[in-house]
Amino acid sequence: MNFSQSISYCFSNYANFNGRASRSECWWFFLFGIILQFVGTIWDSATGDTSGSGVMYWIAYAVIFIPSLAVGARRLHDVDKSGWWQLISLTVIGLIPLIFWMATEGTKKNNSHGKPIKLKNT
């Protein structure tokens, strides 16, 4: 899955917390979120807001918040973990296992969250 496919798929499954997501889908969408928030910060700075978290930054954050949670949950499902494990990101130390799980290859067999992901080579 490439960058544009990931963005399109994640927004078309805006609040779909079921199923599984590939590593590429997850990481490309997270990169998109970082870029979108960076552009919002630049836009705010260009309009005179130097606080670093102006209106456009928060609009960008609001646009990607639920899809990011959804793709994160689906990614954790791919490694046979519950999407609720995302809550450990509220602790700083909890980011370590969360990033590890999201970077790990998913299970190759059916798990409790569905069939394995088959990506087409493009």
| 87 has pLDDT over 90 | yes
In whole angstroms, give the CA distance from residue 76 to residue 122: 25
pTM: 0.86
Q: What are 67-80's pLDDT values in tens digits?
A: 999 999 999 999 99
Task: Enumerate residues 6+ apart whose C-beta is below 8 A from 72.
Answer: 26, 83, 86, 102
pLDDT score recorded for residue 47: 87
pLDDT score recorded for residue 116: 82
Averaged pLDDT score across all residues of the chain: 89
Q: What are 36-61's pLDDT values in tens digits?
A: 999 998 998 888 877 767 899 999 99
